[in-house]
Each structure stands twice: as structure tokens, then as C-alpha cells.
Amino acid sequence: MGTRSPLLAVENVAGSPRPAPSARTPELLRLVAFERSLATGPLERLERSTEEWSDERAHAALDLDPDLREIAVLRTCHRLEVYAVVAAPGAIARIEALLPRPRAGWRRWDGVGAVGHVYRVAGGLESLAVGEREVQTQVRRAGGRVVSRLPTGGLGPIFAGAADAAAEIGSRSDSGGSIAKVGAARMLEEVGPPFPRVVVAGSGIVGRQVAEALAPSAHVTILHRSHPPEEAFLRATGARAAPLSRLAEELALADGLVTALKSAGRLVGVPELVHRDPSRPLVVVDLGLPRNVDPGVSVGRPIRRIDLEQLRSSVRPPGADQAARELDAAADRAYSAFRRAALEPFVAELWREAERLRVSEIARAERYLETLQPKERASVEKLTERLVRRILAGPTERLRALSVAEEESTVRELALRLFAPPAPGP
């Protein structure tokens, strides 16, 4: 992908002036994304951002900013990303002002870079466990929650296309992994005795995957909030189930704890260790964001805490490089489709203005045309229509064919501004 590396520091731009939109100014739609993840900063900063962000910000921004056309938020186990389609550069500054502080640690992706990034995220190439496939569901879900005022969606098809491409490419490669497997493997590396007692807090997708990965080598108890796992799952894994309310009792004799609960906040603190021998070692693998385990529990206790930041894998599985090339190519096609769709409202307005001028000039020449016979009048109409089409057809197609290269993007923007229909008079 030609220009996939504009990773720019985000500055504090709160209070940027918002221009009054002109009814006839062409909408030069731009796509931008802001990423905060473990790749851009420490876990503590990401954790604070996920706690501070609320989707109401996105809805309010779309309601109040006439230059913001779409906004979407992508959350995974270790990232918070905000995507937007804007009709004026000033709207980008106003989105930046919405991002949780500090401004440092936000990475910006523009245009083709933003599309390429979400395709790589969907393909698991930006995951803690490179090649994981669960993220496809999260990308697809984010695409379904796009807040938009566009007549046809821009971000929705991009997110859906990223998930589809990742699923297709992943099915042809052996690059699959998961944070659950990474966490389970780390637990077995760290915990002491053969067949340790491991408590898994959370019976969702990740919790069940952790239990499955641990089952051949550990005695597993899986804790659930409301409904226990299916009997077939418990029989297949040999795990036992218990309600989450029994966490303190289950921790009393456990050798390890894996937490995999979404939006649970601090699940494990000092009170949950009340039944436990304070000299007994415990290995904790915390897969939550925000973290499920209070960092203070290890103070003065033989507790080894491992969180998402310590689980990042640098190992690229076989097939990852080929998957990356295929995802980049698919992202290029998706961005080209977005650009074409973004250009069409302007093209349509340009042709409508040309037709308005043609009709206006015909009306001005009415006194010279009123003596024409109907067939002659029709010939004049066809001649002027044909002239308009011949004049606009070539430049329109060349405009549509411009690539995403920087110099051609500049040509495109200049052309749009040059041929923009004039603003209406007072």
C-alpha cells in the first residue's frame, strides 16, 4: 500500500474554530483514525482511556458538528480506536479534542493508512497473539455501530469488508492464535506443581478458550456470573463450574488465577484473598481491560501478576507475512471504493450545475430561439446537452481514476476546488 505510514503525534487542539458550511462547497470527504493501544503506550494509560471514553461523545459530536459525517469506535482487549469521516479538515481537530487525555500516545492514521490499519487489526496482525481471529467479530460489531449521516455508509462497508477479508484469508492460512492460548500457556509456564489448581474467572468466549487450553494440564474451575457453561463443555474439558460469588473460597487453595471478564473493573483485591494462606504462592494472569486484578494485591504477598502488557508475543506464525500482503491488497481496493463513493456527490453536483447553466443560457437566448421550429429547437437542446457531456466526461473520468499517491491526491483536491459550483449570492 503506497502511503501506509503517516503515524502522527496528536496535539491538543481543543477550541479550534468551526467553519460555517457553505451549501455549495464540495464535500472533500476524508477518513481519519486515532489509535491508543499497547503498541502506542503503557497499559495504565490505555486503561484510563477506556474507562474515560463513552460512546455518548461520538453521538454528541455528530449532532453538533456539521462537518462530521460518520464516527465509529473499535474496542478490543488492548485497544481503543476512533474512526471518522469528515467533510472539512477542521473537524479532525475537533475529534482530537474529544479524545481522552493525555494527547501523547494517540497514533493517527489518515486515508489509505486508516483502512489498511483496520484490515490488519481484523486479520489479527496487530493483536497481542499475532494471527488471532476473535478480533474479526469485534471489528464487525464496530462496523454495525457506526453513527452516520451519509446517504450510503462509508465506514460500515470498510469494517465489514475488513472482517470478511480477514475471515477468508485466515481460512487459507495457519496463522491463527488467540490471547486465551497465550495466557494459558504463560500460566502453565509460571505455576509450580503438576496439574495445578487454576481458577478461570469468566465463562465467555475467552474464558472458555482458556479453560480448554488449560484442561489437559490442570484442574480447572470456571467461574460464571449468571449461567454456568453447558454440561457438554464441562464434560469435554473436565472443568468444574462455580458462581463468581464464590471467588474468595475458590482462591483459597488455587495455584493460579486467570481473569477474563469484560468491563468488570477490579474483581480481585485484598478482600478476595481473605481465605488464603498469605505465604502460599499464586500466579495471576489478568486478561481484563480495565484490569480485573488490583495491582496492590501482590504487595507483601507471593503473588506473581501477569497482565496484557506482559503477554505481547513477537512471534509471527507461519503464513502471517502472506496474510499481510493479501490484507493490504484488499484494503487498497476498499479505500479506492470509498474514494469513488466520496467523490460521487461532488461529481453529481458538478453535472447538475453544468445543466443548470445550460438551461439558463438557453433561456437567455430565448428571443433568438423563439422562431425555431420544434425539430430545430430539439436539435439545439441535443447539441448543448452533447457539448456539456463532451466537456465534462473526460475530466470526470480522469478525476475518478486518480490514485491515492500524494501528488495525485493534491491534483484531485485542486480540481474539486477549481470546478466547485459557486456559492449562491446574497
- 207-213 long-range contacts (CB < 8 A, ≥24 apart) are 207/180, 207/258, 207/260, 207/261, 208/233, 209/178, 209/180, 209/181, 209/184, 210/180, 210/183, 210/184, 210/258, 210/260, 210/287, 211/237, 211/239, 212/236, 212/237, 213/180, 213/181, 213/184, 213/185
pLDDT of residue 173: 63
Angle, CA 325 vertex, CA 322 and CA 329 arms, to 5°: 140
pTM, entire model: 0.76
Domains 8-175+317-342 and 180-310 share a fold: no
d(CA 92, CA 301) in angstroms, rounded, equals 48
Per-residue pLDDT of the chain (426 residues), as tens digits, is 444 433 333 333 333 444 444 444 455 688 999 999 999 999 999 999 998 998 888 888 888 898 999 999 999 888 999 999 998 888 999 999 999 999 889 999 999 999 999 999 999 999 888 888 889 999 999 999 999 988 776 899 999 999 999 999 887 765 567 888 889 999 999 997 789 999 999 999 899 999 999 999 999 999 999 889 999 999 999 999 999 999 999 999 999 999 998 766 788 999 999 999 999 999 999 998 889 999 999 999 999 999 998 887 656 667 788 889 999 999 999 998 888 887 777 788 788 888 999 999 999 998 888 889 999 999 999 999 999 999 989 888 887 777 666 555 666 667 766 766 665 554
CB-count burial class (<10 Å; 0-12, 13-18, 19+) for 426: exposed
pLDDT of residue 18: 43
Order of all β-strands in the sheet with 303-306: 240-243, 219-224, 197-201, 256-259, 282-286, 303-306
pLDDT of residue 409: 63
Which among 385, 356, 383 has a CA at the least distance from the CA of 372?
383
d(CA 281, CA 304) in angstroms, rounded, equals 8
Decide if 111 contacts 125 (C-beta within 8 A).
no
Strands, DSSP E only, in 45-142? 68-76, 79-86, 107-110
Decide if 175 contacts 124 (C-beta within 8 A).
yes
What residue ranges do the domains of the chain occupy? 8-175+317-342, 180-310, 344-418
pLDDT of residue 404: 60
d(CA 58, CA 304) in angstroms, rounded, equals 39
Q: What CATH number should be reported for the domain whose range is 180-310? A: 3.40.50.720
| Distance (Å) of CA 412 to CA 90, 193, 202 | 19, 66, 52
| Distance (Å) of CA 331 to CA 34, 195, 335 | 18, 46, 6
Buried b / exposed e along 297-325 (16+ C-beta atoms within 10 A): beeebebebbbbbebebeeebebbeebbe
pLDDT of residue 7: 34
pLDDT of residue 174: 57
CB atoms within 10 A of CB 59: 12
Which among 398, 328, 326 has a CA at the least distance from the CA of 3?
328
* Architecture field, domain 8-175+317-342: 2-Layer Sandwich (3.30)
Q: Is 131 left (phi over 0), alpha (psi -120 to 50) or beta?
A: left
d(CA 308, CA 78) in angstroms, rounded, equals 7
Decide if 74 contacts 81 (C-beta within 8 A).
yes
d(CA 356, CA 264) in angstroms, rounded, equals 60
